[in-house]
Chains A and B, each alone.
Chain A
Amino acid sequence: MAQVKYVSASRVYAKGAPPAVDALDLDIEDGEFMVLVGPSGSGKTTALRMLAGLEPLDGGSVEIGDRDVTFVPPKDRDIAMVFQNYALYPQKTVAENMGFALKMQRVPREQRDRRVREAARLLDLDDQLLERKPKQLSGGQRQRVAMGRAIVREPKVFLMDEPLSNLDAKLRVQTRGQIAELQRRLGITTVYVTHDQVEAMTMGHRVAVLRDGQLQQCATPRQLYDNPVNEFVAGFIGSPAMNLQTVPLTDGGARLAGATLPLPAAVRAAASTAGLSELVIGIRPEHLHLANGSGELGGEVMLVEELGADSLLHVRLAESGNAVVARAEGRKPPIPGQKVTFHVQLEDIFAFHPGTGARLAG
């Protein structure tokens, strides 16, 4: 049980290269499930490895439970890590794999066996699996053994580096829920790295979005979705992604698809203060409401993706010809080639600075 703290932690791989992690400040509370998410090269895995002690820091510090562990070797940090490829010892049985850390801590054999068995039960691993080698297990079983190896240690912090990326889609969704549930039950502080924003949103108590080694925003999934601080977070979180369009400013609002889209007063004020002649507006697919010809935004349906419960309309907007995606009801979606119009509510429009990407009047 411990909180984790990054204090302007930096990591530079090569001299002169931009830092892989750039002065990261992050507080993770005791028992929290924190997800680090970002595209590849964003520094999320490096940040995790810095916490594990597998990557030295070039600046700043890392704390676990009020103790500065910046220069503490990995084994003395009281952490357990689940690797992307599980990193199970191929020559050891499942039980030996799970008990290895305890053996290193000179935990007596009976106690070790008991704890391995407990962890196995927790993960629905049959007793007979315990005597098998990793090679004889399925991908899902290996994943659970890797989890078990972490649980057996009863560490202060769990570190997980894309532990679901080697599973097939169905198993991934299932395991996602199991891990989140297990974490809640054990109450152990967890730092979880993924590039999959759906995973991040569904599992994390809070999500830290990284890009180019810099923390963009750290908030609950709901806050990230409803209140992104910049264009990057807005575009990264949510599937399908938010429709982002660079549009010229007019007196009444922003010009899009041959119509003037009214903007909130605060946005207009912020834009004029910044002296902008255009800005980036963002509208989530579900906020483009089909309006039967009476909407402000017109366009032509190019493609319809049926998802069952709803369908995604790929629409080419009138005049500008830009493509947007709209979420529509699943039953009777428009057909390709059909002209449609959308209505957008004022409060559903996000506006961003076209140069810096920062949110205008958020």
Chain B
Amino acid sequence: MTALPLRPGHSGRPRPQRLREMSGRAGWGIVAWVVAIAFFLPVLWMVITAFKPESAAETWPPQFIFKPTLSEFRLVFSGMGPFLTHSVVATVGSTILVVLLSVPAAYALSVHPVKHWRDGLFFFISTKMLPIVAAIGPLYVIALHLHLLDSIWLLIILYTAMNLPLAIWMIRSFMLEVPRELLEAARLDGAGRIREITGVILPIISPGLVSTALICVIFAWNELFLALNLTVTNAATMPMYLISSVPQEGLYIAHLSAAATIASVPVILVGWIAQRSLVRGLSMGAIK
């Protein structure tokens, strides 16, 4: 405290006000921590339970000291194969399609806006306003007639359609950040439309492109409703595997936790990467 008067910024301020400020800041800190822990606890619970034997998983009060076992993981892995493959194929396939389609679409809505680009933009986002439950009936009938029910192609198409609007909006906003002069310089240098996109725009917005793709990966990976209603075995995905690991009777909490943990790992990983590149993507405007 003896050093305090030496700091000109602090010495002039009345004491009670400083105290109020400090306690206010601490108060918000506590709130933030409580919320964060409230969000994180179930996840932690899930991971801990996954390492318990089934017999120890459902005791009350919960046991915190137990012998960790990988037996449930082993069990989960043994039946997971096809589900994992379907999820990876549907997620990666749809994300590639989304990026391929959304880049030219975003370009046509930002850099060289087509006629009625506003309507187009609104149309894309409006498709997200309809509850998916309302569309499931028609989707089922169409898939039935196209012989696409329980097919991985159906999921790829639907996940592409599902993520496309968001991707177009995101990539469009990144493209708007590209300085106009750069595009004009490229035009003067003799770059055509394709060159303008691949040579000038894409390198600049690549952080944004990556974060968009990662978000699409997360959404496709977690999707349950469409997969549940339109697939059975040939295209069943990881979220369906989670549901199927709940047996009709008996203990299943540890098994479910192990399966959920495995299903979450890719998403958490991707989310973590996306968070970093998202920040980079959003601070892209700082180029000069």
Instruction: List chain A positions with a Cβ less than 8 A from chain B.
Output: 52-54, 73-75, 79-81, 83-85, 87, 89-92, 100-101, 104-105, 149
Residues of A within 8 A of B187 (CB): 54, 73-75
A83's nearest neighbour on chain B, judged by CB, is: B181
Show 5 residue pairs from A and B whose CB-CB distance is below 8 angstroms, ordered by the A residue.
A54-B184, A73-B187, A84-B181, A91-B203, A104-B189
Which of B185, B187, B195 has the most chain A CB atoms closer than 10 A to its own CB?
Answer: B185
Q: Is B224 an interface residue (CB 8 A)?
A: no
Bound-state CA distance A105–B199 (Å) is: 15
A104 touches B181 (CB 8 A): no
A90 touches B204 (CB 8 A): yes
Q: Which 6 pairs between the two chains have the least Cβ-Cβ distance? A: A104-B190, A91-B203, A87-B181, A75-B190, A101-B189, A87-B185
Residues of B within 8 A of A52 (CB): 184, 188
B200's nearest neighbour on chain A, judged by CB, is: A89
Given A87-B179, A89-B200, verify A74-B188 contact (CB < 8 Å).
yes
A79's nearest neighbour on chain B, judged by CB, is: B188
B204 touches A101 (CB 8 A): no
What's the nearest-Cβ distance from chain A to residue B33, in Å?
A: 38
B189 touches A75 (CB 8 A): yes
Bound-state CA distance A101–B181 (Å) is: 15
Bound-state CA distance A53–B203 (Å) is: 25
What's the nearest-Cβ distance from chain A to residue B21, in Å?
A: 39
A105 touches B188 (CB 8 A): no
Could you tell me which residues of chain B, from 186 to 207, have a CB within 8 Å of some CB in chain A?
186-191, 195, 199-200, 203-204
Residues of B within 8 A of A73 (CB): 187
What's the nearest-Cβ distance from chain A to residue B183, in Å?
A: 9
B189 touches A83 (CB 8 A): no
Q: Is B288 an interface residue (CB 8 A)?
A: yes
Given A85-B288, A91-B204, verify A104-B191 contact (CB < 8 Å).
yes
Q: Is B182 an interface residue (CB 8 A)?
A: yes
A83 touches B184 (CB 8 A): yes
Instruction: List chain B positions with a Cβ less than 8 A from chain A.
Output: 179, 181-182, 184-191, 195, 199-200, 203-204, 287-288
Bound-state CA distance A92–B288 (Å) is: 14
Bound-state CA distance A81–B179 (Å) is: 16
Residues of A within 8 A of B203 (CB): 89-92
What's the nearest-Cβ distance from chain B to residue A230, in Å?
A: 34
Residues of B within 8 A of A74 (CB): 184, 187-188
B204 touches A80 (CB 8 A): no
What's the nearest-Cβ distance from chain B to residue A304, in Å?
A: 38
A75's nearest neighbour on chain B, judged by CB, is: B190
Bound-state CA distance A83–B288 (Å) is: 12
What's the nearest-Cβ distance from chain A to residue B206, in Å?
A: 8
Bound-state CA distance A159–B73 (Å) is: 68
Which of A52, A53, A91, A105 has the most chain B CB atoms closer than 10 A to its own CB?
Answer: A91
Residues of B within 8 A of A81 (CB): 184-185, 188
Bound-state CA distance A149–B188 (Å) is: 11
Residues of A within 8 A of B195 (CB): 104
Residues of B within 8 A of A101 (CB): 188-190
Bound-state CA distance A87–B189 (Å) is: 12
B191 touches A85 (CB 8 A): no
What's the nearest-Cβ distance from chain A to residue B203, in Å?
A: 4
Bound-state CA distance A75–B191 (Å) is: 8
Which of B186, B188, B195 has the most chain A CB atoms closer than 10 A to its own CB?
Answer: B188
Bound-state CA distance A79–B190 (Å) is: 10
Bound-state CA distance A100–B203 (Å) is: 15
Bound-state CA distance A149–B181 (Å) is: 14
What's the nearest-Cβ distance from chain A to residue B280, in Å?
A: 13
Bound-state CA distance A91–B287 (Å) is: 11
Bound-state CA distance A54–B287 (Å) is: 22
A146's nearest neighbour on chain B, judged by CB, is: B185
Bound-state CA distance A75–B183 (Å) is: 12
What's the nearest-Cβ distance from chain B to residue A193, in Å?
A: 14
Bound-state CA distance A26–B105 (Å) is: 41
B203's nearest neighbour on chain A, judged by CB, is: A91
Residues of B within 8 A of A75 (CB): 187-191
Q: Specify which of A53, A83, A91 is in contact with B185 (CB 8 Å cutoff).
A: A83
What's the nearest-Cβ distance from chain B to residue A158, in Å?
A: 11
Given A90-B204, A104-B195, verify A80-B188 contact (CB < 8 Å).
yes
What's the nearest-Cβ distance from chain B to residue A79, in Å?
A: 7
Residues of A within 8 A of B182 (CB): 87, 89
What's the nearest-Cβ distance from chain B to residue A115, in Å?
A: 14
Residues of B within 8 A of A84 (CB): 181
